[in-house]
Chain A
Amino acid sequence: MLNNEPKIIVSDLNVFYGNKQAIFDINMSINSKEVTAFIGPSGCGKSTLLRCFNRMNDLIDICKITGNIKLDDLEVYNKKIDIVRLRTRVGMVFQKPNPFPKSIYDNVAYGPKIHGMCKDIPELDAIVEKSLRSAGLWDEIKDRLHEPGTSISGGQQQRLCIARAIATNPEVILMDEPCSALDPIATAKIEELIDELKSKYTIVVVTHNMHQAARISQRTAFFHLGKLIEFDETDKIFTSPSEQKTNDYITGRYG
């Protein structure tokens, strides 16, 4: 079931916020076309690591990074790479649904438009429809494409954000607690969607919900205090973890 072709390779990664070190010596490789879940208590650095993959941490002035991340052959932290290019290859979905306060259509069309991925309007229409279909949103909103993206429900907004992320045809989709602001029904839909998307994209999900990690991921990484404690197949992590800390966390003894 698992293929072992690595998509992202992290080596000796350290992240500092000012004088505080948030991530310590992380080495891991994330496999292509499967779902990898990051779990761990709050403040363990899992979101920070996720944001390193598309250099979203660059927005924070005091953030310093040492070590190396490779996306296929591309060195993510090489000074010479084009960040904008990188971010089209690595899409992101955030914790809180954050559609642009523009129409649903414009939300999805924005990425392809600024990257010049389409020649004319019909082509753009096709990309928008395809992305919304892949996000399982097309049938619900196809008549409301020109209503504001903020007018639909929270779950729909989050799927709109997923559609927006896949519209630029990325290779990797990063999801930072994508369901934490949603109700169980909307969560179930997103989980289903993640399961479908993994055939095409490499997906990394940060989640606080261990059941969710168990349901949707093929591999799970457990972080604690900025260190990667254990990283293995999800079944193994949740049934017979090799580390005591992992066991304590998944059985709810601390966290």
Chain B
Amino acid sequence: MNKDLLKKRYKKEKRFILIGRIAVSLTIIFLVILLGSILLRGISGFYTTNISLKTNLLEEIIDPAQNKNADEIFKASWRKVSRTAIYNILDDYNDSKNIEKSTRKEKRDFIRLFSRSSEFYVRDYTLKNINNIGEVVTINVPASSLVDQYLKGKIDINLDESNRPISDAQISWINFMVEKKMIEKKFNVSFFSNGDSRNSEEAGILGAMVGSFLALMVTIIAAFPLGVMSAIYLEEFAPKNKFTNLIEVNINNLAAVPSIVFGLLGLAIFLNFFGLPRSSPLAGGLVLALMTLPTIIISSRVAIKSVPPSIREAAMGVGASKMQSVFHHVMPLAIPGILTGTIIGMARALGETAPLLMMGMVAFIVDVPQSITDPSTVLPAQIFLWSDQPERGFEEKTASATIILLGFLLTMNALAVFLRYKYERKW
């Protein structure tokens, strides 16, 4: 054989392998950059800043009737109680700096260091510890997003005062509170227990998580049996003729239809024709089911097709009916593949936003949905909403929510891989 030719061939192979390696490395680099930047920005969102507030639970404001009736206590002027406690800190600061009295503007700026929901924390604390009324207690209230962002180093303090959201006075107040050990960084429980909010320090993801969960439940209940049954029928029972070929082609086409089109379809059918409640996980889940159905049918058919015909023949040979051969022998072997396909379809549905835009699931909804007919939003829609907010604190929330979404997606895909390896049978 020609020696040069051989050399050339080896060179070609080497070149090909090199290109392949470059391509794979590029992919990995991009993935690392993507995940890294999201993690870097989002991890801090799982922590939040709390301020311990020494509060005097004055009986004459909270419970003037002195009967410890929870309903009446609930209606007390909590703003007055919390404001008093907050101004006390400002007074302490003034004492330490020998400042006579704060101006109204200074007071207003100081209040802004505390979350607007502080008074509710004071209220809830009191309602839980009703016997402490009349005493001075220490209550942890959330700091405002401004303090949180400043302490996390997300605000550039080298800028001129007029160009940054935080004033010099506010910085020195924060530093005073840090010195007095009134400020602590804590795991952000409210991020996982709250619905959406206009205050970034109060905004949580629970509403979106529950919404996603409910919508996916609707999707799986609607799409899984329908998809698997269609796949079994088409693969095992349907005659092979032009009509079934047409159906097959169209199912494949359906899988490639842009998801927004499914949204339009859902809007026309589920909302306008059937009158399902707008923004509800029921309507959203049904649209996602339409979208996932072709994926489930196709992957189920592949799984059923990959069961060797010898198994069917063996079953037929001992006199099993068609149905028995399918359900006793083919399905147990096809189920892992079907589940894998379904989970991957579900993961896609979890990350889908466009069709849900059409169903009104991109809305500001504070309450955590209780049922599939309550208005709710879903994780990707929540991310979309937060990314649109001008307030600085939401940038962090956006990244944190993305981490949660990616976490769910990775878990689902890992489950699919696990099922495939665990139950895969070889012949």
Contacts and interface: CB of A to CB of B under 8 A. Distances in A.
A184 interface: no
B317 A165 contact: yes
A168 B319 contact: yes
B58 interface: no
Nearest to B308: A98
Given A96-B310, A98-B310, A56 B319 contact: no
Contacts, number: 66
B320 A94 contact: no
A87 B239 contact: no
A115 B328 CA distance: 14
Interface in B318-347: 318-321, 324, 328-329, 332-333
B39 to A, nearest CB: 43
Given A61-B239, A101-B333, A168 B310 contact: no
A100 B329 contact: yes
A100 B317 CA distance: 12
A111 B318 CA distance: 6
B319 A115 contact: yes
B391 interface: no
A154 B331 CA distance: 25
Chain B interface size range: 20 to 34
Interface residues of A, number: 28
A88 interface: yes
Interface in A35-89: 54, 56, 59, 61, 84-88
B305 interface: no
B313 interface: yes
Contacts of A85: 319
Interface string A161-186: 10011011000000000000000000
Given A100-B311, A101-B425, A84 B317 contact: no
Contacts of A203: none
Contacts of A56: 313, 316-317
A100 B319 contact: no
A84 B323 CA distance: 12
Contacts of B318: 87-88, 91, 110-111, 114, 164-165, 167-168
Given A61-B239, A100-B329, A114-B324, A87 B316 contact: yes
A91 B320 contact: no
Closest 10 CB pairs of A and B: A111-B318, A98-B310, A87-B319, A92-B317, A88-B319, A98-B314, A84-B319, A84-B321, A101-B425, A61-B240
14 contacts: A54-B317, A84-B319, A84-B321, A87-B317, A94-B310, A94-B314, A98-B313, A100-B314, A101-B332, A101-B425, A111-B318, A114-B319, A164-B314, A165-B317
